A and B are shown apart, each in its own frame.
Chain A
Amino acid sequence: MTAETQVREPLTLKRVGRFVADNPLIPLVVLLLLLVGVLEFMRPGIVNERWIGNTIKFAIPLAMLAACQTMTMLTGGIDLSAAVAATISAFVMATQVPIVGVPLAICIGLLPAILMGLVNGFGVAVCRVHPLIMTLGTGLIATGCLQVYQRFVIASGSVVPDGLAWLGTGRTWGLPNSLLLFVPMAVLIIWAQRRTGFGRLLYALGSNETASRISGVRPWQVFLALYALSGLIAGVTGLLYVGLIKAPSLSLVNPLLLPSVAAAVIGGTSIFGGRGGYGGTILGALILTVLGTLLTLLQMPEGARRILFGLIILTVTTIYIRLTEQSR
């Protein structure tokens, strides 16, 4: 009847749970390798250098957009305006290139994304609007603004700079050039999450805002900086993505929005905050990309593919959360 015997009962499951909670990346790596194995089994020879390069190339913009979700989710928030911010950056940049030239166009393109982030941050931090509502709102407003903007630049046309196309689609020694942008960014984010005061505060706020306040943290400062940073990363993602797609449109990055949330969740970041990290998200983005290829290979109708995609995401996430929650 003592507490100790009660603890002992589900020990093996609990151990697995603790192991997963302490080493959250291992089951994700296993899942990724499993999916690649299935793919190779279904279509022997498909997994080659070229395929790997392509998978990474398409996973990178997703992983970058998912960085916005990961960081905001660590505080218990979300950034639903990230895809719109990315689209705006890409569109504004591409339409400004014929007018002001490439370097200035890139700067002008990033401005609206950062501005959106600041507005999100102000709403979340100062007005205490729930991030879901706040970012949904700014996303809608920004989409409207983009449509108005389009009317003014429709005559000048759009150009995707060669440099971005090289970064987005090019390869060097078989590896996509976008790694040049992505690897430093990923290293920086992972380092920031673990080894900087700002990164720690994201976890702290997501884990317990009251405790953070008692410890002297002023949450609004963190939220403002966080959402502005999220806007900036979204903007950069947009620039890279238009280099990959090479055709700016008003809904360029939007299809990546929900997958970016899914990548963060599959990667083990809790939507309630306080748990997770960017390493898992990168694996999540890779898993989603490989899963996409797999479902395409199955030659199912589009509808069935989506159903299966949704089911797999739900199953994986449920199992993963169940495992890690055993340790609570």
Chain B
Amino acid sequence: MTEHEPQTSLLDAQGVSKKFGAVVALRDASLTIQKGQIVALMGANGAGKSTFVKVLTGALRPDTGHVRIKGEERRVGSPAEARRSGLLPVYQEPSLIPDLSVADNLRLADTPVDDFRHWVAELGIEGLRLDDMIGALPLATLRILDLARALAAKPDVLLLDEMTAALPTDLVDKVLRTVRAQADKGQSVIYISHRFAEIAQICDRATVLRDGETVGDLPIAPGVEEQVVELMLGTVLDKAPTRDAATGHGGKGEAHVRVRHLAAGSKLEDVSLDLHRGEVLGVVALEGQGQDELFEALAGMIKPTAGQIAIDDVPVSFSHPADAIAAGLTYVPGDRADGLLMSRSVHENIALPQLARISKWGAIRMKAEADKVAAAIDRLQIDTRAMGEVQRLSGGNQQKVTIGRWIAAGVDTLLLFDPTRGIDVRTKRQIYLLVRELAAQGASVLYYTSELAEVPAACDRAVVIFNGKVVDVIEAADADEPTLMRAAYGLTRAEGEPA
């Protein structure tokens, strides 16, 4: 809220654009910071935030536009060079080397130890010994250490990427107060966060990105949340895919999969949901709100730390994905590289689950297998002109293979994690249709998507997860993008009591 005269700003990025092949990541991004300001950088998934950060830190060279720090042109260079130039990023993944002690890590970056100790104490970490190994410390502590190290280096501009994710409340409070106090002493901060409450508490301005373009630069004032959400959405609504498959008959009767107070990993805290037969239940969440852990726990990849899962009212617990599969829960991971045998054929990829059990280790009934695989390929319209290795297929066709595997095996409950990420529009539509069709045939689908516009097209209902907890349940009819976006950012509806 500091007023400033239009002197040369500390950091000034104007008209930045960046293309990767045919994909335009940034079109016209800009950002300015004066001394002592905290600016929130905001944007929905795919708005170009991460690319912009890379350009700001000098990891990527922009195609057009310029980035100036203290009036000096930003050059692409090593992290050490970036450090000297006065902009220091603190990323979500702490950049500390696990196999070295705290002191050794400080030495690597030439951090003054006394300043570091001061900041560690200030940020509320007690009993830290410098000869502690980094790998033995909890994630929350590491994030604080990373921040303390950055503060000790006295950068002109500090870039904090989701600084408060994975931190307990008391530490969040300390971090926010420390950062604000530093700003009041003249430190500038770029603050990337999904949490409006924090932004309202400490930031001076919010710069909003949409489709690679800076669409707004607002002072933080009461009610700014709504403005920011509107800016992030733009006028995309008319582009929303329409739903042309028959409406599922889901959401009625007894729950097929019942999840109660599930917690897992460091992010999933307390999720309850009911998935019915014939229902496509959407999961809406910003990145890193615990949805990965939810899917992995349901798929038997990780063990929940608390809570229950029940299938048709029978409690289950999985120690291996094979247990989940036996219970009918089949998983399509978000990263296709995790789901595919890249060096093997489409055929072998699709047939894989049918050979998993020891009783299937013997001779394969080739004819029966070929029929099943052909049926799945046919149903998904997989383009198999490149008959060899799966890695030769396009992304969309690869994704169809990971889904086709479970179609061939017989679908009961399908856990789809962002199945349309990075694939073409036509394949996306095919996937929505397929999901609707499976539901119409009685399957249950849990469908996480990072594209909000997909929810009304593919889902019957959507649960919104924020901070590891379900904050809202929205019917498909009400699930327009603004509603979902507000919910995903933890802005509960006026009447909104989570179901």
Contact = CB atoms under 8 A, between A and B. Distances in A.
Contacts of B331: 214
Contact of B357 (A211, A216, A225, A270): A216
Interface residues of A, number: 32
A134 B22 CA distance: 48
Given A3-B21, A196-B364, A200-B348, A214 B339 contact: yes
Contacts of B321: 213-216
Interface stretch (A34-42, A112-120, A135-143, A202-210): A202-210
Interface in B318-368: 320-322, 325-326, 331, 333, 337-344, 348, 351-353, 355-358, 360-364, 366
A310 to B, nearest CB: 28
Interface string B272-305: 0000000000000000000000000001010000
A295 B364 CA distance: 44
A296 B293 CA distance: 62
Given A2-B21, A195-B364, A197-B364, A204 B348 contact: yes
A212 B352 contact: yes
A21 B389 contact: yes
Contacts of A207: 341-344
A214 B406 CA distance: 11
Contact of B366 (A2, A195, A213): A195
B388 A216 contact: no
Nearest to A225: B361
Nearest to A194: B364
Contacts of B392: 327
Nearest to B394: A3
Contacts, number: 101
Main secondary structure of the interface of A (DSSP, over half): helix
Contact of A216 (B325, B342, B364): B325
Interface in A263-277: 270, 274-275
Contacts of A275: 343
B362 A215 contact: no
Given A203-B344, A218-B322, A274-B341, A197 B360 contact: yes
B343 A274 contact: yes
Contact of B338 (A2, A198, A211, A328): A211
A196 to B, nearest CB: 6
Interface in A210-264: 210-218, 221, 225
Contact of B341 (A22, A198, A204, A328): A204
Interface string A17-33: 01001100000000000
A213 B340 CA distance: 11
A196 B361 contact: yes
B432 to A, nearest CB: 23
B308 interface: no
Given A207-B343, A214-B301, A216-B321, 7 more contacts: A197-B360, A200-B351, A200-B355, A208-B340, A213-B321, A215-B325, A215-B352
Identify the 3 closest CB pairs spanning chains A and B, nearest first: A197-B355, A216-B356, A207-B341
29 contacts: A1-B21, A18-B388, A21-B388, A195-B366, A196-B364, A197-B361, A197-B364, A203-B341, A204-B348, A207-B341, A208-B340, A211-B339, A211-B352, A212-B341, A212-B352, A214-B299, A214-B331, A214-B333, A214-B338, A215-B356, A216-B325, A216-B326, A216-B356, A217-B322, A217-B355, A218-B356, A327-B388, A327-B392, A328-B391
